[in-house]
Each structure stands twice: as C-alpha cells, then as structure tokens.
Amino acid sequence: NFMLTQPHSMSESPGKTVTISCTRSGGSIASSFVQWYQQRPGSSPSTVIFENYRRPSVVPERFSGSIDRSSNSASLTISGLKTEDEGDYYCQSSDNVNPVIFGGGTKLTVL
Amino acid sequence: QVQLLQWGAGLLKPSETLSLTCAVYGGSFSDYYWSWIRQTPGKGLEWIGEINHSGSTNYNASLKSRVSTSVDTSKHQFSLQLTSVTAADTAVYYCARGRVNGGRDFQHWGQGTLVTVSS
C-alpha cells in the first residue's frame, strides 16, 4: 500500500498564489497519474486537474498541476486566488494493488 | 451531459445491510468503471469499490469482506451493498464514473447520500 500526504490546511489572500502538495510514500509519484478534486461545502467533489496537469474545459487556467520526481510529490497551484476557490482539495492516484487512493485533503481558506 | 443520480436508505441500525443504487444518464455505460466512494463526517474520501458493465469488480481491501456490487446494464444502473454496518459506516456515500487511465479519473459524481447508522 502507498499513502498520499497533504497539508491539513492552508490559507492565502485573494489575488495571491497557493500551492498544495501531495507527497507519495511507497512507490514513485510518476508511476500513476495524479488527479485533484475540489469540494465545496455541501457539494460533491469535482475534478480540477486530471492526469497530473490536464484541466477539464470548465476549470479556469488559474488552476495548474505538476509532479516532481525528486520530492516524489504532486502539486496543485492556484493563482489569482478568489474567494470562490475556498474548499477542500484532494489528490488521488493508484498503484497495481489499489486502483484508487485519496490523499487526506487540504482545507483552503481564502481571506 | 452525464448525470449520476443515486438513492437508498438513509438510516440504518447496527448489523443491517446498506443498499444504494446509482443511475447513469448520458454517455457510455460500457467504457467506464463505476465506483462507490464514501466520506465520513469531517473526514476525507475513501474509495469502497467498483464494477464495470460486464460485472468485473475491484474492492478496497479494508472493506472487501462486507462489500458487494452489482450492475444492471439494461437500466444503466449499479448498486452497492455493505453488510453488518456499524456506527463507523456513517458517511456520505457517492457514486462516481471512473475513467481508466492506468488508475481512475472521476469526472462525474452523484449527489451523495447521507447514511446514518444508529440504534
């Protein structure tokens, strides 16, 4: 089994840039694609990044994803923060044994 | 436009069986794996398991002994059963469409069903 570790919470001001990390323990971050989901209170999760860096067409360009083999982690960067970006963000990946593993989630506050 | 609509009993007693169904509207039913994911109050997401149109399944090892899934391709529906529930199974349960990309990519989710287990 592997784990995906995210910071529990982050906060930043509107207009700024925030980067949320997702560190894989057990196996290489590059071995499987990483997805990122946004979940606003009371709503189902929605995809903001899939396959490490791809954005669904409805997601603004302010959202970007990447992976870093040296730190064995993935990152979600949100630039030009807006109050509507507040919510919980989850990374998700897989390995040969587990088709789906989620990170613990990061609560993003924009204030 | 793809929509997933789910339903099932929201209040169970300990030892009962949780049963949920998810109907898929729009898009292909045969090109994806269909997953169940839960979220305990104030906690993160936990993948429960999945099934495809031909009935092939994969389950979270920690829940495998209590989980079963089924599919009705004629209705584009799939279902979850979780036996011997306890208070620890209280959660919001989601169905989701999983695109296979080596792992899974969930771009369509149901609205969620709150299931409470209480005596």
List pLDDT tens digits, range A24-70: 998 999 999 999 999 999 999 999 999 999 999 999 999 999 999 99
Would the pLDDT of B102 be above 90?
no
Q: Tell me the pLDDT of chain A averaged across its residues.
A: 96
Contacts of A44 in chain B (CB under 8 A): 94, 109-112
**B50/A99 CB distance under 8 A:** yes
For residue A59, the tally of other CB atoms under 10 A from its CB is 17
The residue of chain A with its CA nearest to that of B108 is A46
Q: How far apart are CA A22 and CA A92, in angstroms?
A: 9
The per-residue pLDDT for B27 is 95
- Identity of the residue in B44, B61, B111 whose CB atom sits nearest the CB atom of A44: B111
- Min Cα separation B24/chain A (Å): 16
**A104/B35 CB distance under 8 A:** no
Largest CA distance in chain B: 42
Residues B115/B101, Cβ–Cβ less than 8 Å:
no
The per-residue pLDDT for B42 is 76
pLDDT tens digit string along B56-87? Answer: 999 999 999 999 999 999 999 999 999 999 99
Pair type for strands B11-12 and B113-117: parallel
Residue whose tokens read 């269909």: B34
pLDDT tens digit string along B16-56? Answer: 999 999 999 999 999 999 999 999 987 789 999 999 999 99
Angle at Cα B81 formed by Cα B76 and Cα B82, nearest 5°?
Answer: 150
- Min Cα separation B110/chain A (Å): 7
Angle at Cα A17 formed by Cα A16 and Cα A21, nearest 5°?
Answer: 145
- Min Cα separation A87/chain B (Å): 13
Mean pLDDT of the A83-95 span? 96
The per-residue pLDDT for B112 is 98
Q: How far apart are CA A48 and CA B52, in angstroms?
A: 24
Q: Which of B40, B45, B64, B93 to mutate to test the interface with A (most CBs of A within 10 A)?
A: B45
**A50/B105 CB distance under 8 A:** yes
- Identity of the residue in B44, B103, B106 whose CB atom sits nearest the CB atom of A104: B44
